[in-house]
Amino acid sequence: MGILVTGATGTIGSQVLAHLAAQTHPVRALTRSPATAKLPAGITPVGGDLADVDSLRAAMKGIDTLFLLAPNVPDELTQAMLALSVARESNIKGIVYLSVFKGDAYADVPHFAGKYTVERMIEDLSLPATVLRPAYFIQNDLRLKEPLLKFGVYAMPIGPKGVSMVDIRDIGAAAALELVRRHRAAAALPRETFSLVGPDALTGEHLATIWAEALGRPVRYGGDDLAAMEQRMKGMMPSWHAMDLRLMLARYQTDGAVASAADLARLTHLLGRAPRSYRAFAQDAAAAWANG
């Protein structure tokens, strides 16, 4: 029996596979393009899509552990729920589901509310799952290279309340640890939930200061204008997605998304070390940009 990773070629799936590649367990990667997928050595590509139930049934044959990452698409909720239903009928004994931090609180943010509904399904059906709730990905801010370097502006309207951003490498490590733990278990294990967070409550002004130190030049916070952010995002993604992100950032501005001491302690115990900091990420990014 083995492990199936969905979303395998994306940002988080790639991190999960990188951590699983060192293991001796059979690992399959679900991808729409198995012939051309670039995967770590030892990982087996398998054709399929969460929107194609028959392909999921085929991919889960001979699998006992599932990493479920549903894509950020309009029918994300349907895809995730159907995937869990297929896992249930396939007698999968261990599931690791990628949800979102504060999904239970941000009822007006579509992808947050959808992921929390999936969590409710897991709980209601007593599925043997670990729910991972990552905060805003630190590496999202690599997309801010141009405004940082050209204009000295940190341009994401994070707001003044604070967000405990998480490094995607910590997400991959946590997912792999839980997948291996559930795969190795002789029987299904109890449900677990982890908040995947960073050590700092980062505000817009705080982030500008971190970048100023990393770049060795003045950097200011670009402010909280969500309408401008939405218009800018529409040039890179569908309008529904831009609106979804605007609603998320609005809640960051009014409520924040700050981890508790218990969240950090629990994640530190899982990883066997403290989670990575935004400051370390910014220093590494600045050095890489300086070297071309």
Task: Report the phi/psi class of residue 100: left, alpha or beta, with left for phi > 0 and alpha for psi in -120 to 50.
Answer: beta
Number of residues written out for the chain: 292
Buried b / exposed e over 234-269, threshold 16 CB at 10 Å, is: eeeeeeebbebbbbbbbbbbeebbbbeeebbebbee
For 109, residues 6+ apart whose C-beta sits below 8 A from its C-beta are 244, 247, 248, 251
Among residues 136, 168, 174, 151, the alpha carbon closest in space to that of 268 is found at: 174
pLDDT at 25: 79
> Which structure tokens are listed for 194?
């982890």
DSSP for residue 187: S
> Which structure tokens are listed for 272?
């066997």
Among residues 248, 249, 150, the alpha carbon closest in space to that of 204 is found at: 249
Task: Give the chain's largest Cα–Cα span.
Answer: 57
The CATH number assigned to the domain holding 35 equals 3.40.50.720
**Residue 236, in any domain of the structure:** no
Evaluate whether 20 touches 176 at the Cβ level (below 8 Å): yes
**Residue 118, in any domain of the structure:** yes
**Residue 90, in any domain of the structure:** yes
> Which structure tokens are listed for 37?
């997928």
pLDDT at 35: 86
pLDDT at 281: 98
CA atoms within 13 Å, Cβ hemisphere of 24: 1
d(CA 260, CA 135): 12
pLDDT at 110: 96
> Which structure tokens are listed for 66?
């599932």
Among residues 122, 3, 17, the alpha carbon closest in space to that of 60 is found at: 3
d(CA 266, CA 269): 5
**Residue 182, in any domain of the structure:** yes
**Residue 237, in any domain of the structure:** no
Evaluate whether 166 touches 196 at the Cβ level (below 8 Å): yes
Give the mean pLDDT per block of 10 residues along the chain (292 residues): 93 95 87 90 93 96 96 95 97 97 96 98 97 98 96 98 98 97 96 98 98 98 96 94 97 98 98 98 97 84
**Residue 290, in any domain of the structure:** no
Among residues 235, 237, 236, 233, the alpha carbon closest in space to that of 225 is found at: 233
**Residue 189, in any domain of the structure:** yes
pLDDT at 71: 92
> Which structure tokens are listed for 122?
């897991």
Give me the domain span that covers residue 28: 2-135+167-196
Q: How many domains does the chain have?
A: 1
Evaluate whether 176 touches 130 at the Cβ level (below 8 Å): no
d(CA 76, CA 69): 10
pLDDT at 68: 98
**Residue 68, in any domain of the structure:** yes
